Amino acid sequence: MDGNEKAQHNREAFQLERLILFTDAVFAIAITLLVIELKVPELEHRTEHEASSALLRLIPKFIGFLISFFIIAIYWTAHHRIFRFVRHLDNKLIWLNMLFLLSIVLIPFTTAYQSEYGMLAMSWVLYSVNIIATGLLQARIQTYLRHPANGLVAAHERTHPDLDLVRPLMTPLVFAVSLVLALFVHPWVMRMVPGVVFPLLGLYFGRRRRRLEQVYTKQAAMHTAQPSA
């Protein structure tokens, strides 16, 4: 690698690092905004009964906080996994990432809305649309990274299990089904729907582990087949 190539490589690495650091900061802010909604209740009479009653009234907000915390955490870990394959940046990837972050920073608002008006189906619809949009944008980023013409990922890594589209589409699918169910069941039942996501992720990671084992076995076989120097 000559001086010009090294300078170009360093510039690209710096730009990629800036994008990732900015993304991490946005995720951190989104998670922080979630907990802001958990305000300590003000009690007119500081008795054990009133304190317990006030805490019970916060349960919907605690449930909303926990669900959204883990959803944001899942998307952050997914972003961490897929961007480790990125070798170059272009404007389209930057803006796709910005749109993805837009959906992330909306989650604290839709979570608060859903927690406050949980008895209304509209609150769950708004929240679900937000989560569906986030998952679809992640899938769009991965599709863009996998496309050979874009040259953002090394050729041998485009088929890596961490870049497949099964995982990012599972969560939108679950929440899309919940939108249909919201027409027939009580809105409170919808709070239990995200619990379906985690068993599905467990199944996915079992599939991912098997695919990774196949990749490593293939790489080991290719390495063994190479003639020694």
- Who contacts 194 (Cβ-Cβ below 8 Å, separation ≥6)? 67, 71, 174, 175
In a domain, 212, yes or no: no
Cα 179 from Cα 113, distance rounded (Å): 16
Cα 138 from Cα 99, distance rounded (Å): 10
Q: What is the pLDDT of residue 229?
A: 44
In a domain, 101, yes or no: yes
Domain carrying residue 158: 3-197
Cα 83 from Cα 141, distance rounded (Å): 10
Q: What is the pLDDT of residue 27?
A: 96
Tens-binned pLDDT, residue by residue, of the chain (229 aa): 566 656 566 677 778 889 999 999 999 999 999 988 777 777 777 777 777 777 787 777 888 888 889 889 989 999 999 998 888 888 999 999 999 999 999 999 999 888 888 777 788 889 989 999 999 999 999 999 998 888 888 888 888 777 888 888 888 888 888 787 777 776 666 666 666 665 665 665 555 565 555 555 655 555 555 554 4
In a domain, 218, yes or no: no
CA distances from 218 to 130, 148, 156, 211, 213 (A): 39, 22, 12, 11, 8
Q: What is the pLDDT of residue 15?
A: 87
In a domain, 215, yes or no: no
Q: What is the pLDDT of residue 89?
A: 87
How many domains is the chain built from? 1
In a domain, 43, yes or no: yes
In a domain, 210, yes or no: no
Write down the pTM of the prediction. Answer: 0.78
In a domain, 153, yes or no: yes
- Under 8 Å between Cβ of 20 and 95: no
CA distances from 158 to 82, 145, 171 (A): 10, 8, 22
In a domain, 203, yes or no: no
Q: Which residue has the tokens 């008895």?
A: 119
